[in-house]
A and B are shown apart, each in its own frame.
Chain A
Amino acid sequence: MEVNVRDLTGDIAVIQLVGRLNMASAARLREAVTSIVDSGRTRVSIDMSGVDFLDSSGLGAIISALKTTRQAGGDLRIAAPTGQAKLVLQLTNLDRVLTAYDDAETAFNE
């Protein structure tokens, strides 16, 4: 899985994930979010449009990242999950706590 981080204005960072968010890659998402929060940015938006597979290990990393941002006074939002990832978010009821925004760039504008 590729993890690409870019800064928006203010304290917002966008993480673009490309590939599979599973047991083999979940730690990289946790590390990326910890690093972002340590650098002072507390609002994180995850662009999931390139995630072609998501499982419970990946969900655990997203929840962990959500807690990391909230404990620092910020928040985490997800954007544009498709196909299998969308199905998994629905089946695990996570779509109730993590609204899927259309676009990671504007997720904090809404």
Chain B
Amino acid sequence: MSDAIRHTLHMSSPPDDVDTVHGLLEIVWTEVPAIGMEDRFSLETAIIELASNVMRHADPGSGVSCTLLIETFPDRIEVTLSDSGEPGDVQLADRDMPDVLAESGRGIPLIQALVDELRYDRTDGLNHWHITRTLKSDG
């Protein structure tokens, strides 16, 4: 575990929004340049979808505080997004893309198409969302 490069971001939404997360990811991609474009596209999309989901659904009305931890290992990236919001009410199993003309409902299936693992648990009054993506060897 000691060979992980860690980046952490604490946010309060509002005023922070998904562009705050994009800002952290720009730093990650600069500091870990070996990650290939496909891995970057996939991880950035999955992380922004997750953050959007939390900011949209977990906010009880008074805003939501989140901590994003990105751990880069030689062969994979692990992401944990913890938030103080309402308990997650998301069915993660067997999510298909909605009808093509639906205006919502693509976030979770899109994450699942882009990463190896998406997990949720609730401990100590916090929601924890976990993503793992194995990095392409030619990255």
Contact = CB atoms under 8 A, between A and B. Distances in A.
A94 B102 CA distance: 10
**Interface residues of A: mostly helix, strand, loop or mixed?**
helix
Contacts of A22: 18-19, 22, 48, 52
Interface of B: 17-19, 22, 37, 41-42, 44-45, 48-49, 52, 55-56, 97, 100-107, 109-110, 113-114
Interface residues of A, number: 24
A100 B18 CA distance: 26
Contacts of B55: 23
B41 A94 contact: no
Contacts of A92: 97, 106, 109-110
B102 A57 contact: no
Contact of A59 (B48, B106, B113, B114): B106
Contacts of A59: 106
Given A64-B103, A84-B41, A97-B100, A56 B114 contact: no
A57 B101 contact: no
A67 B99 CA distance: 14
A56 B100 contact: no
A24 B45 contact: no
A56 B46 CA distance: 10
A32 interface: no
B101 A63 contact: yes
A106 to B, nearest CB: 25
Given A63-B102, A94-B100, 14 more contacts: A20-B19, A24-B17, A24-B18, A55-B48, A56-B106, A56-B107, A56-B110, A64-B103, A88-B45, A88-B110, A92-B110, A93-B100, A96-B100, A97-B100
22 contacts: A20-B19, A22-B48, A22-B52, A24-B19, A53-B45, A55-B52, A56-B49, A56-B52, A56-B105, A56-B110, A60-B103, A63-B103, A87-B41, A88-B45, A91-B113, A92-B97, A92-B106, A92-B109, A92-B110, A94-B100, A97-B100, A97-B101
A83 interface: yes
Contacts of B106: 56, 59-60, 92
A12 to B, nearest CB: 22
A15 to B, nearest CB: 18
Contacts of A23: 17-18, 48, 52, 55-56
